[in-house]
Amino acid sequence: MRRQQNHQTHARRGFSLIELMVVIVIIAILMALILPAISGARQRARIAQVSSEISQLDNAVAKFKSVYNVEPPSSLYIPAAGGTWGAADRSKVRSIWPQFNFATNGGLGNGTKDMHLSGAECLVFFLGGIENTTSNPPVVLGFSKNPQTPWDSAGTNREGPFFEFDNSRFTDLDKDGLLEFADPLPDQQTPYMYLSSQGRNYKRTNAAGSTLAEQDDFDVHGGNSNTKDLQAVYLKTAQPVQAHRPDSYQIISPGPDATYGVGGVYKDGEELVGPRATEMDNITNFSGGQLKP
Ligand SMILES: [Ca+2]
Ligand SMILES: [Ca+2]
Ligand SMILES: [Ca+2]
């Protein structure tokens, strides 16, 4: 009898409304503390993934160089079949394929229109090779080992691809049929930028006054005045002003905000403010990865 009474008292007690509210508030506070930590950790992991991919792209450029003795250029103008090659573009191609047959565009099947490769497109073209235009999503096939027709998509005797592209991340922002490659951040809209110094010096800027050919390196979105493009190579403030990785190249992810910013003079560890704040989350192959974590 007494035992039963005890049991009843206990069962009736439960939680009071105030106790419940206290518990809910405590849970809410804990969530508020923990969730940002979790999402921050997730964000850091994603950024580390991009940094790691940029290292792999570095390795791919090194592989390209071990085969062809030069690093890929970051702009190239390929005329349509029968069109006239510019001297600078000829020499870029010859430095890679000395026996290149310019009369047949090195065997490029799709030779019916002029092609302007930006830095972002050069990254895919030179590390991936010739695109199989009949496949969807796109597949890149490397280059033919035939020294005169390296851009022939036929044949199994091939060099590359030098990088294993995830073809679900190919983009074509300027809709010219030449692919760019986006980093693995979720919903990334803007591709990796690649800028080469060609072992000499960078084309530093596309500011007004420079020629069209100079602008090609930076022109990812199409059109010369597009402010969404990176506008200048990254430079250090050390005297004399020098580029980051002056003798090689810069690979730049626009980061989680999908925006490059303007580029230009950047001091290591500098806090980017104002219109340059969009560059803080950029991930690069210099300055320890992120410009400012
Ligand atoms: Ca283009
Ligand atoms: Ca394109
Ligand atoms: Ca950015």
Q: Ligand 2 centre from 118 Cα, in Å? A: 8
Q: Ligand 2 centre from 189 Cα, in Å? A: 13
Q: Ligand 3 centre from 186 Cα, in Å? A: 14
pLDDT of residue 213 exceeding 70, the answer is no
What is the pLDDT, as a whole number, of residue 209? 44
Lowest mean pLDDT among 8-22, 72-86, 87-101: 8-22
Q: Ligand 2 centre from 6 Cα, in Å? A: 78
Q: Ligand 3 centre from 23 Cα, in Å? A: 41
User: Please, which pLDDT band fits residue 242 given cuts at 50, 70 and 90?
Assistant: confident
Q: Which residues contact 109 (CB under 8 A, 6 or more apart)?
A: 133, 152, 153
Q: Ligand 2 centre from 227 Cα, in Å? A: 17
Kindly identify the ligand whose nearest atom is closest to the C-alpha of 256.
3
pLDDT of residue 38 exceeding 90, the answer is no
Q: Ligand 3 centre from 190 Cα, in Å? A: 10
58-65 long-range contacts (CB < 8 A, ≥24 apart) are 58/251, 58/285, 60/127, 60/162, 60/163, 61/127, 61/162, 61/249, 63/160, 63/162, 64/126, 64/127, 64/160, 64/162
Q: What does pTM read for this prediction?
A: 0.87
User: Please, which pLDDT band fits residue 182 given cuts at 50, 70 and 90?
Assistant: very high
Q: Ligand 2 centre from 74 Cα, in Å? A: 13
Q: Ligand 1 centre from 8 Cα, in Å? A: 79
Residues 34-58 have a mean pLDDT of 92
> Percent helix, strand and coil across the chain, each rounded to 5?
35, 15, 50
Q: Ligand 3 centre from 39 Cα, in Å? A: 18
pLDDT of residue 270 exceeding 90, the answer is no
What is the pLDDT, as a whole number, of residue 198? 87
Separation between Cα atoms, residue 249 and residue 270, nearest integer Å: 21
Q: Ligand 1 centre from 216 Cα, in Å? A: 8
User: Please, which pLDDT band fits residue 156 given cuts at 50, 70 and 90?
Assistant: very high
Residues 182-188 have a mean pLDDT of 96
Kindly identify the ligand whose nearest atom is closest to the C-alpha of 119.
1
| pLDDT (tens digit per residue) in 96-153 | 999 999 999 999 876 778 899 999 999 999 999 999 878 888 999 999 999 999 999 9
Kindly identify the ligand whose nearest atom is closest to the C-alpha of 217.
1
Kindly identify the ligand whose nearest atom is closest to the C-alpha of 181.
2
Q: Ligand 3 centre from 112 Cα, in Å? A: 36
Strands (DSSP E) contained in the chain are 76-78, 115-117, 131-132, 139-140, 143-144, 158-159, 170-171, 180-181, 193-196, 234-236, 242-243, 249-253, 264-265, 283-284
